[in-house]
């Protein structure tokens, strides 16, 4: 009883009238600031030195200007003494005081707890953002030295007692104000969104119109800092500095802001968003939210390893198979466009797949039974690399061999995410017996054709190579389905010869 009286004397007047939304919004602005044992302050706009905490509290060390512990965070979120957030004052109440006493608050049954109420144990107290207080509610809390002030969704033990702040009310709303409702993107405090360079991701923010004015086409979600082009801007945005309008949204209704982000620049991007009434005011200057409350963290992987099959040069029979005589080799090529940022040299290699398994078609000219060839020349971004290589007829029969690209010691192209796939090229190869001419000598297959031409009395002209390009040359292999068997008549490297 004595302690309760003393605490009441420290804060002698009732807290100002606040709505639930104002309390939750006030607490959300503390996200990202440090844990400070005995502290209670931060900036509503997310600015200033967020501080840092080290060690094990209460014997922990804090550095920096701002931060709060759990009870200081609730004291300032509830605005019990009316001080500005940036005024550093913890207040006289501990977590256990919120649980056991009723000073400027009243205990309520936990099942009836609503947003802006608190849940307190003897050692910790949190602010309810929304959700089932007996389930896994979303809460705002100064969780500890290693965590700082966070917005989390997690369950709480049965020892937590619910309390409601005095003087909840509904003051006259400002003209332009939005309150956070939902988003599809992970919070910036969670692991980063992982995207590949050039990749798009669709999401949304839902905000409730808690202002006095109806939103219209001039109400717009915008990246912040204000009027600076975003590295995540997409062509669907109104401009690089304005994203989308929700259209007409009456006070009390929820506006939907669909957002498509595009991974334009490699690296890590912390992108914040604000709302602006074009030509009138930014919402952060009227009723909120702050320019930094809506935030996402995006990590973009660079497009260093990427390629697209553009051409294949091997003679094929009528069934789409490459014919190789037993004991001989046949030379051809594969051409792949370099769609990545890095030039291809000796480290980039064509390889049979499955990976690192010797191929039955390996010729002595291969780098090894598991590596075929390097580009004929160094190939810069946007240029086409030619891989010239031989396939060997080592054993009779038909086989289908798939191929991939690998940057030796760095990455297989398929694993980099941009393609091509491990089977972007598939060759059907039939090894046949060497043909024997009428004198019993092995033939390369050209003489017999020449004899028949002579018997007809005319010698055929040399055949021009036939080249058909793959059907998906305008799409990257990363987005195309697995390549079919190569059925391309391309650059007959061994022309039929007429008998002189």
Is the per-residue pLDDT at 360 higher than 90?
A: yes
Q: Domain extents for the chain?
A: 2-165, 178-301, 307-455
Q: Which residue has the higher pLDDT, 433 or 473?
A: 433
**CA 399 to chain centroid:** 40
Residue with the two structure tokens 């022309």: 495
Fold for 2-165, please state it: endopeptidase fold (from Nostoc punctiforme) (3.90.1720)
What does pTM read for this prediction?
0.49
Measured over the CA atoms of residue 10, residue 16, residue 17 and residue 21, the dihedral's sign is negative
- Taking the alpha carbons at both ends of the chain, their separation in whole angstroms is 120
The domain 178-301 belongs to what CATH superfamily? Answer: Immunoglobulins (2.60.40.10)
Q: Are residues 44 and 290 in contact, defined by beta-carbon separation less than 8 angstroms? A: yes
Is the per-residue pLDDT at 24 higher than 70?
A: yes
**CA 169 to chain centroid:** 41
Is the per-residue pLDDT at 500 higher than 60?
A: no
Is the per-residue pLDDT at 471 higher than 60?
A: no
Is the per-residue pLDDT at 147 higher than 90?
A: yes
Lowest mean pLDDT among 17-31, 310-324, 439-453: 439-453
Task: Retrieve residue 80's tokens.
Answer: 């019990």
d(CA 416, CA 421): 10
The domain 307-455 belongs to what CATH superfamily? Answer: Immunoglobulins (2.60.40.10)
Domains 178-301 and 307-455 share a fold: yes
**CA 183 to chain centroid:** 16
């Amino acid at each position: 009883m004595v302690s309760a009286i003393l605490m009441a004397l420290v804060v002698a007047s009732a807290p100002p009238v606040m709505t639930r939304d104002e309390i939750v919004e006030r607490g959300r602005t503390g996200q990202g600031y440090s844990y400070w044992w005995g502290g209670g302050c931060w900036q509503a706009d997310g600015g200033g030195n967020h501080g840092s905490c080290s060690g094990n509290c209460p014997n922990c060390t804090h550095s920096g200007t701002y931060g709060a512990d759990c009870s200081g965070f609730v004291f300032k979120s509830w605005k019990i003494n009316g001080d500005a957030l940036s005024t550093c004052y913890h207040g006289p109440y501990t977590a256990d005081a919120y649980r056991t006493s009723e000073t400027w608050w009243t205990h309520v049954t936990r099942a009836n707890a609503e947003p802006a109420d608190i849940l307190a144990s003897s050692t910790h107290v949190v602010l309810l953002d929304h959700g089932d207080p007996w389930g896994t509610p979303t809460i705002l809390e100064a969780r500890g030295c290693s965590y700082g002030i966070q917005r989390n969704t997690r369950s709480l033990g049965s020892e937590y007692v619910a309390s409601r702040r005095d003087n909840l009310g509904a003051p006259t709303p400002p003209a332009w104000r939005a309150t956070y409702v939902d988003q599809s993107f992970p919070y910036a405090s969670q692991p980063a969104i992982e995207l590949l360079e050039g990749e798009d991701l669709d999401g949304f923010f839902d905000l409730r119109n808690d202002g006095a004015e109806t939103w219209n086409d001039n109400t717009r979600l915008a990246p912040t800092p204000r009027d600076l082009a975003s590295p995540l801007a997409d062509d669907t945005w109104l401009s690089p500095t304005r994203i989308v309008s929700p259209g007409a949204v009456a006070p009390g209704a929820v506006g939907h802001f669909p957002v498509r982000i595009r991974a334009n620049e490699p690296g890590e991007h912390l992108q914040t968003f604000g709302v602006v009434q074009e030509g009138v005011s930014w919402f952060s200057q009227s009723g909120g939210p702050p320019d930094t409350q809506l935030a996402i963290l995006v990590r973009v992987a660079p497009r260093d390893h990427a390629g697209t099959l553009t051409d294949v040069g091997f003679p094929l029979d009528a069934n789409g198979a490459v014919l190789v005589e037993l004991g001989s080799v046949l030379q051809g090529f594969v051409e792949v466009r370099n769609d990545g940022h890095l030039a291809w040299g000796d480290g980039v290699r064509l390889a049979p797949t499955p990976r690192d398994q010797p191929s039955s078609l390996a010729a002595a000219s291969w780098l090894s039974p598991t590596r075929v060839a390097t580009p004929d020349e160094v190939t810069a971004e946007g240029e086409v690399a030619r891989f010239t290589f031989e396939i060997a007829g080592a054993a009779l029969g038909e086989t289908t061999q798939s191929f991939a690209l690998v940057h030796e010691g760095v990455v297989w192209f398929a694993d980099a995410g941009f393609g091509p796939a491990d089977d972007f090229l598939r060759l059907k190869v039939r090894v046949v017996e060497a043909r024997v001419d009428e004198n019993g000598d092995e033939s390369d297959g050209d003489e017999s054709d020449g004899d028949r031409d002579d018997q007809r009395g005319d010698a055929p002209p040399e055949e021009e190579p036939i080249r058909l390009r793959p059907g998906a040359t305008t799409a990257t292999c990363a987005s195309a389905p697995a390549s079919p068997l190569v059925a391309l008549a391309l650059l007959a490297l061994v022309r039929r010869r007429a008998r002189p």
